[in-house]
């Protein structure tokens, strides 16, 4: 499904990405600590959702933040893995986005602060996501009532969590939702070139640095749990994939949809023209973001 370009409106996320890109281009010796501090601004375009409470917790040994909309069904959980190239981003930077989605779906969300690269390369983040999933089921949450969800690198983790659970002969989540998933650890996608001029943040050099930190010299860029474009999707849960039409990683989303559909998976792909990487970060600010979250809620309840 391709959603037409929305009517012209201010894009706070694109403005933030443009600012970040200028900082990255003019600060060659940026430390990991400061790099992470910059990306913790990711929440700024997102309006604080009303009638949501937050609580820090640890699930399966992994810290994170619960997002609990008032009146939500606490027996249904979004297990949210944040984006940021496996190296930056946090539960704090993503809690508002996760809360908007949880509120629209009428459920609760737990946003993981998984271990990040380069200190903790693959599969540390994936192991944390699997541990949290299994802990939720151990607390009595039915696997079918858990949705793994994430954006960018967190979208990779949302997909890989289901794949890793299948490898362990564990029950799978009931559904998977990914925003602008970053899956291609080979940087082979054609939209890295064709959308270079319209993407305000993602570049090949940026991805190369994050790949090096995540994979190191231990993991192949074609390992299915690191690069799900090489995975077998037979028996995979129903899947919702979202992407912006202007982003460099667009074909990560389209290739994931093609692979999953070929394996018989129930797949919905939503590409919204004119939008940036993980554009639902504009939740509460733009019609494009709010309408997309509403479409996800309709899909979830179907």
For 106-115, the pLDDT digits (tens) are: 999 999 999 9
**Confidence band of 17 (pLDDT split at 50, 70, 90):** very high
Mean pLDDT for the stretch of residues 70-86: 98
Q: All domains of the chain, ordered by start, with CATH?
A: 51-301 (3.40.50.1820)
Task: Name residue, tokens 């609990």.
Answer: 68
Does position 3 have pLDDT exceeding 70, yes or no? no
What's the start-to-end Cα distance of the chain, in Å? 17
pLDDT in tens, 176-197: 999 999 999 999 999 999 999 9
Task: Tell me the C-alpha distance between 39 and 36, whole Å.
Answer: 5
Does position 8 have pLDDT exceeding 80, yes or no? no
User: Are 165 and 79 a contacting pair, CB within 8 Å?
Assistant: no
Mean pLDDT for the stretch of residues 2-16: 81
Mean pLDDT for the stretch of residues 125-139: 98
* pLDDT at residue 5 in the model: 63
Contacts of 20 (CB under 8 A, 6+ apart): 38, 39, 41, 201
* pLDDT at residue 126 in the model: 98
Task: Name residue, tokens 């190239």.
Answer: 85
* pLDDT at residue 302 in the model: 82
> What does each C-alpha distance from 118 to 24, 49, 210, 211 come to in angstroms?
18, 33, 8, 10
pLDDT in tens, 240-276: 999 999 999 999 999 999 999 999 999 999 999 999 9
> What does each C-alpha distance from 145 to 71, 74, 79 come to in angstroms?
17, 10, 10
Task: Tell me the C-alpha distance between 241 and 257, whole Å.
Answer: 7
**Confidence band of 1 (pLDDT split at 50, 70, 90):** low
Does position 217 have pLDDT exceeding 90, yes or no? no
**Confidence band of 157 (pLDDT split at 50, 70, 90):** very high
The catalytic site residues sit at: 152, 247, 277
Calculate the average pLDDT of the chain: 96
**Confidence band of 236 (pLDDT split at 50, 70, 90):** very high
Packing angle, helices 124-138 and 153-167, rounded to 10: 60
Does position 78 have pLDDT exceeding 90, yes or no? yes
Give percent above pLDDT 70 in the chain: 97
Tokens matching residue 275? 């939008």
Task: Tell me the C-alpha distance between 129 and 142, whole Å.
Answer: 16
Q: Is the pTM of this model over 0.95?
A: yes
How would you class 235 by CB atoms within 10 Å of its CB: exposed for 0-12, middle for 13-18, buried for 19 or more? exposed
Could you give the dihedral angle defined by the CA atoms of residues 285, 286, 290 and 291, in that order, rounded to the nearest 10 degrees? 170
Instruction: Report how many helices (DSSP H) and strands (DSSP E) the chain contains, helices first.
Output: 9, 9
* pLDDT at residue 9 in the model: 76
């Amino acid at each position: 499904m391709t959603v037409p370009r929305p009517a012209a409106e201010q894009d706070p996320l694109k403005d933030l990405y443009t600012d970040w890109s200028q900082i990255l281009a003019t600060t060659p010796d940026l430390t990991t600590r400061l790099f992470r501090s910059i990306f913790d601004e990711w929440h700024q375009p997102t309006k604080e959702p009303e009638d949501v409470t937050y609580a820090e917790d640890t699930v399966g040994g992994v810290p994170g933040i619960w997002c609990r909309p008032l009146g939500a069904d606490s027996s249904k959980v979004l297990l949210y893995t944040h984006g940021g190239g496996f190296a930056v981003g946090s539960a704090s930077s993503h809690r508002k986005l996760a809360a908007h989605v949880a509120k629209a779906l009428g459920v609760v969300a737990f946003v993981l602060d998984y271990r990040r690269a380069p200190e903790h390369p693959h599969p540390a983040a994936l192991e944390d996501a699997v541990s949290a999933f299994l802990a939720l089921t151990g607390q009595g949450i039915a696997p079918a009532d858990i949705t793994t969800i994430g954006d960018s690198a967190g979208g990779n983790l949302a997909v890989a969590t289901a794949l890793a659970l299948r490898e362990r002969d564990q029950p799978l989540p009931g559904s998977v939702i990914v925003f602008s998933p970053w899956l291609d650890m080979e940087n082979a996608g054609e939209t890295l070139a064709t959308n270079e001029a319209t993407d305000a943040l993602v570049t090949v050099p940026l991805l190369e640095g994050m790949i090096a930190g995540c994979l190191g010299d231990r993991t192949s860029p074609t390992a299915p749990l690191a690069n799900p474009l090489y995975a077998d999707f037979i028996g995979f849960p129903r899947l919702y994939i979202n992407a912006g039409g202007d982003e460099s990683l667009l074909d990560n989303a389209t290739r994931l949809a093609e692979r999953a559909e070929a394996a018989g998976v129930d797949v919905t792909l939503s590409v919204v023209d004119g939008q940036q990487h993980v554009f639902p970060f504009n939740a509460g600010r733009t019609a494009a973001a709010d309408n997309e979250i509403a479409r996800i809620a309709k899909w979830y309840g179907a």
